[in-house]
Amino acid sequence: MLETFRYGPIVISRDYTKTYEAVGVKKSPLILLVFVLIGGLLGGVLGEILRVMAPQGAIQAIFSSNFNPGISPPLTIDLVLIKLTFGLILKVNLLSLLGMFLGIYLYKNV
């Protein structure tokens, strides 16, 4: 006999004792991407707040430094009828990296 339970199926044996089976959750790469993006965004916002609020000195220097990978200047393709411009720049600071790593950690352990 098999009943359903919130955390997985309940298996009732012949002697009518209930045992719970662990059900593994399938983790998709899309969920990992969401965790990394949210962690990076929250870390970036916190880094910007600390950059503005911190007094002049070493702490502000750490939080004001950014790494900007991307396409600069933007790539432009002129096809007479239409003109396409592609550009992407990421603004990465120390706390956004820590937030991304925290997102990966939470994804693996939750």
Determine contact, residues 42/99, Cβ cutoff 8 Å. Answer: yes
Count of alpha carbons within 13 Å of 110, Cβ hemisphere only? 10
Helix (H) or strand (E) holding 18: strand 18-20
What is the model's pLDDT at position 8?
A: 55
Residues 74-87 have pLDDT tens digits of: 999 999 999 999 99
Give percent above pLDDT 90 in the chain. Answer: 40
Residue 21 lies in a domain: no
- Residue 19 tokens read as 């045992």
Among residues 102, 88, 100, 108, the alpha carbon closest in space to that of 44 is found at 100
Q: For 70, left (φ over 0), alpha (ψ -120 to 50), or beta?
A: left
Task: Count the domains in the chain.
Answer: 1
Residue 99 lies in a domain: yes
Beta bridge partners of 20: 10
- Kindly state the average pLDDT of the residues 30-46: 93
In the predicted model, is pLDDT for residue 1 greater than 50?
no
72, part of any domain: yes
Residue 14 counted as domain residue: no
Parent domain of 97: 26-109
Q: Is residue 82 part of a domain?
A: yes
More confident residue, 64 or 20: 64
CB atoms within 10 A of CB 13: 9
Domain annotation covers residue 19: no
The pLDDT assigned to 34 comes to 94
**pLDDT at residue 50, as a whole number:** 86
User: With contact defined as beta carbons under 8 Å apart, do 46 and 95 qualify?
Assistant: yes
User: Is 8 a domain residue?
Assistant: no
Global pTM value: 0.66
pLDDT score at 79: 92
